[in-house]
A = this chain, B = another copy of it.
Amino acid sequence: MEAAQTDDVLYAGELEIRPGDGLVLAAGRALPLSVREFGLLVALVRRSGRIVSRSELYTLVWASELRDGDRSIDVYVHKLRVKLETALPAWAFIHTHVGFGYRFSPEASHVFHNSTTPR
């Protein structure tokens, strides 16, 4: 993997990531991630703003060739999204580019549900 990039700290909106420590803070609170989730997040954040192909992500995080038909990346992007969305509902971080890959970029999510008041 690539986490061995010493102990810099990455910031992205309300997120703070410490690759060296395997630690993610969301708005100051620790966000528990599994090894794969963490690796994927770091890989994406290190390439913020750019589109990263599944194949590249797999190489970076899984350290091997993406076999075709393998959906691991999709599944883990989903898991990451759920956790990030739970921690920071007002932000969208991981964006899909159909046919290309995923792009990390903190953007305000278009949420204006009053749904929490179902009458």
**Which residues from chain A sit less than 8 Å from chain B, CB to CB?**
18, 21-23, 30, 32, 34-35, 38, 50-51, 95, 97-101, 103, 105
- A34-B98 in contact given A23-B50, A50-B21, A50-B23 (Cβ < 8 Å): yes
Q: Which residues of B contact A97 (CB under 8 A)?
A: 22-23, 32
Q: Which residues of B contact A23 (CB under 8 A)?
A: 50-51, 97, 100, 103
B103–A50 CB distance below 8 A = no
A88, chain B: closest CB distance, angstroms: 19
A93, chain B: closest CB distance, angstroms: 13
Q: Which residues of B contact A35 (CB under 8 A)?
A: 98-100
